[in-house]
Amino acid sequence: MRRISILGATGSIGASTLDLIDRAGGAEAFDVVALTGNSNVAKLAETAIRLRADVAVTADAARLDDLRSALGNSGVEAAAGPEALVEAASRPADWIMSAIVGAAGLAPTLAAARQGTALALANKESLVCAGQLVLDACEGAGTQLLPADSEHSAIFQCLCGERQKEVERVILTASGGPFRDRSRTEMESVTPEQAVAHPNWDMGQGISIDSATMFNKALELVEAKYLFDLEPGQLEVIVHRQSIVHSMVGFADGSLIAQLGPPDMRGAIGYALNFPARVDLPVERLDFAKLAQLDFEAPDPDRFPSLRIAQEVLRKGGRAGTVMNAAKEAAMAGFLNKQIGFLDMADLVDRALDALPCEGEPGALDEVLALDADTRTRVAAWIEGRD
């Protein structure tokens, strides 16, 4: 039986992954090694018991007793805290889903990358913060990196059977998020509740707000650079409001290959779970007569400065990715607490990229974590008005 682990099993990507695992036979078909979560220990325990996992881990050390009592005498081991997450990600498994949100996913993802098996990557932040370290870990161990972000799964699928040196450009599609038709003035006063309501995709809170600012696409540009070894000038973004074309690859002869599907993450996750096979997945089949049209438009740099920031990060390298992501996460916390406005988030990221050392690639995980922490401290101080 295939041994699998899911890091971030209680989130949105975790739920889509578990749906596919359950449909494929659950505990009868898979040997579930580790499942991790954060505050929702009841859900984590219920899933771990149902799938007969070896271990359930909550990132929150203070919740260990809650997790233990929720697991009762099921025989599932309980663990808690950041080190326990890394230990769980290091337990031998054949396929590991990395779906923790944010830079918190970096250390467990790196541990999983060192296993030499298959790593399905939804946690784009680990490539943004430490792309070269993750790639080196995969290469050193012989780990197959399988993109689980819809755009990167699309690019990966478009590249199957193609030669990398003939790739001319990669075009990431973006839905444009809930504010794609709002003016800059209107965007100044939008609330967290409005920002989290994505028109096409049902996702976790962090990525939904990232879609509203288009920082999600900024992260994805950096993610694509590392995954597919691209130069900044080869990467483009186009707003495509229907989220049907998941991305496209253009080749030396002017030909383009696109991957299409409904906006359902089980498509990309299912591809990574079954790679290189394609199996029947529970996703809607596209009806082109009903769709009638697919729209494309250039993103507006005035309303979405995140895309300009991404170009700066692509030019500067890995440390700038760490700073962009940490500043963005800290600024998002300020927005969610209603301490700053929606457009202030990009301003704070710009300010952090000016204030912190950003050139070149970080040498080790500790360096990334220190730069991440410094950036958060600075941005939090700016939000509190202490600096």
C-alpha to C-alpha distance for 308 and 302, rounded to whole angstroms = 9
When the beta carbons of 188 and 224 are compared against ligand NAD, the nearer one is 224
Cα(170)–Cα(224) distance, integer angstroms: 9
Q: In sequence order, which residues have a C-beta less than 8 Å from that of residue 144 and are 6 or more positions away? A: 117, 118, 119, 138, 275
CA distance 282 to 273: 14
The distance in angstroms from the start CA to the end CA of the chain is: 55
Smallest distance from the beta carbon of 179 to ligand NAD, in angstroms?
18
Does 149 contact Mg ion by CB under 5 A? Answer: yes
Distance CA 58, CA 51 (A): 17
Least distance in angstroms from the C-beta of 234 to ligand NAD: 22
ω before 263 within 30° of 0 (cis)? Answer: no
Q: Is 13 annotated as a binding residue?
A: yes
Give which of ligand NAD, Mg ion, none residue 151 binds (C-beta under 5 to 8 Å, depending on kind): Mg ion
Q: Based on the shown chain and the rule CB under 5 A, indicate whether residue 329 belongs to the binding site for Mg ion.
A: no
Q: Does 125 bind Mg ion (CB under 5 A)?
A: no
> Nearer Cβ to ligand NAD, position 59 or 320?
59
Tell me if 151 contacts Mg ion by CB under 5 A.
yes
- Describe the crossing of helices 215-228 and 124-141 by its angle, rounded to 10 degrees: 10
* Partner whose binding site includes residue 175, from ligand NAD, Mg ion, none (CB under 5 to 8 Å by kind): none
Q: Which residues are near ligand NAD by CB under 6 A?
A: 8-14, 37-38, 59, 85, 99-101, 104, 122-125, 149, 201, 203-207, 265
The DSSP bridge pattern shows strands 55-58 and 77-80 to be: parallel
Say if residue 193 carries a ligand binding annotation: no
Q: Counting contacts by CB under 5 A, is residue 264 touching Mg ion?
A: no
What's the CA gap between 228 and 365, in Å, rounded?
A: 22
Pick the closer one to ligand NAD by CB: 161 or 323: 323
Q: Cβ closer to ligand NAD: 13 or 340? A: 13
By a kind-dependent CB cut-off of 5 to 8 A, residue 299 interacts, out of ligand NAD, Mg ion, none, with none
**Which residues participate in the annotated binding site?**
10-13, 40, 123-125, 149-151, 175, 198, 204, 211, 216-217, 220
